[in-house]
Amino acid sequence: MLTQIIAHRGSKGTRPENTLPSFQAALQDGADGIETDVHLSKDGHLIIIHDEKVDRTTNGKGRIMDLTLAELKRLDAGATFDPVYAGTRIPTLDEVVQLLVKAKFTGIFNLELKTNKIHYDGIEALVADYFNHHPVPFKLVYSSFYPKSIERLHALQPDAEFDSLFETKFKTAKRLHAEHVIIGYHPDIRWVRRHWLLLPKVQLRPWTVNTERDMRFCYRHRFAGLITDYPGLAHRLRVKMQGG
């Protein structure tokens, strides 16, 4: 089995993260999967962006939860990365899904619920309702640093795949795995390197794997996948090491 390449916020290293150009580039680079993040706007729309605030990645300021969709759509999400991408907008979940459907994408769509800092009321139900009403050709994988979001979504969509994100502690991840709520771990690659011999035999997709050294480590040990900002580089290296 080939180690799957999951594009972190799209091709984050080469395009404005979590934007349609970033996801399009990831598909062109040969990514097997897309990883992205979802928040909830003031007026209840599912918004694709990483941070709780727009300050870092756009020309605006403020929290996602305090801004409406119309206000978010007026922001420039590309110019801070490179003036070439000026005018790029923050996408909604539906816009990203429709891009993937149009591209006939059949890989992994790893949606992280960003609820570990702000517990958006009802976001799990909104996400589940969206996918229950929008059949997709790709494999849906949910993850979160907030275990309750995983448990709530599991109750709503028991047939989806769930994986646990963590940086250094994985007691909760072990419990959820034992309870058959999750089937894999998405740990920090630095943590994986320190604890390699102690890791349980579960599906591993470490993040964020950006150096050739770390990519080679993942390919050599045949991890289920790796999450990277540079899917193009990861794909070229996988061809050399795993033949595909």
Active-site choice (45, 50, 180, 235): 50
- What whole-number distance in Å separates Cα of residue 80 and Cα of residue 224? 34
Q: Name the β-bridge partners of 37.
A: 112
| Residue 45 falls in the annotated catalytic set | no
Kind and range of the H or E element at 126?
helix 123-133
Q: Are 166 and 145 in contact (CB under 8 A)?
A: yes
Would you say 14 and 42 are in contact if contact means Cβ atoms under 8 Å apart?
A: no
Instruction: Identify whether the C-beta of residue 204 lies closer than 8 Å to the C-beta of residue 226.
Output: no
How far lies 9's CA from each of 48, 124, 177, in Å?
Answer: 9, 20, 25
Distance CA 117, CA 175 (A): 21
How far from chain centre, in Å, is Cα 92? Answer: 14
**Residues taking part in catalysis:** 8, 50
